[in-house]
Amino acid sequence: MDVSEHGYIHRKDDYLKRLRRIEGQARGIARMVDEEQYCIDILTQVSAMTKALHAVSLGLLEEHMSHCVVDAARSSDAEAQEKVAEAVEAIARLVRS
């Protein structure tokens, strides 16, 4: 599959912006640990970062379902089943995280 065919590509800049913000959050958390800040304050920031990562994950999953799975279903039952199985595995990983 060509990169331009991925469902998220039309929102790539949005995803990159969100991921850069998350990267900044990670650096901020590392700085908090380095400065030996209060553990509950650090955990609050970890929770915020986790929520942001989940939002990115859910957005990518939605894009996968609405683009990749739908396109595969139009192509063949076998391709559709493969893409649905990928989505199920991804959902399982997200639920476990």
- Residue 45 domain flag: yes
Q: Pick the more confident residue, 7 or 38.
A: 38
Query: What is the domain extent for residue 74?
Result: 8-96
- Rounded to whole angstroms, what are the CA distances from 44 to 31, 62, 88? 14, 27, 30
Strand segments, DSSP code E, in 1-97 are none
| Whether the Cβ atoms of residue 80 and residue 64 lie closer than 8 Å to each other | no
pLDDT of residue 2 exceeding 50: no
User: At CA 41, angle to CA 97 and CA 38, rounded to 5?
Assistant: 120
pLDDT band at 3; cut points 50, 70, 90: very low
Q: Which CATH number characterizes residue 51's domain?
A: 1.20.58.1000
Residue 50 predicted with pLDDT over 70: yes
Residue 91: pLDDT over 70: yes
Q: Do 65 and 84 touch, CB atoms closer than 8 A?
A: no
Alpha carbon distance 60, 26 (integer Å)? 21
- What is the distance between the alpha carbons of residues 84 and 65, in angstroms, rounded to a whole number? 8
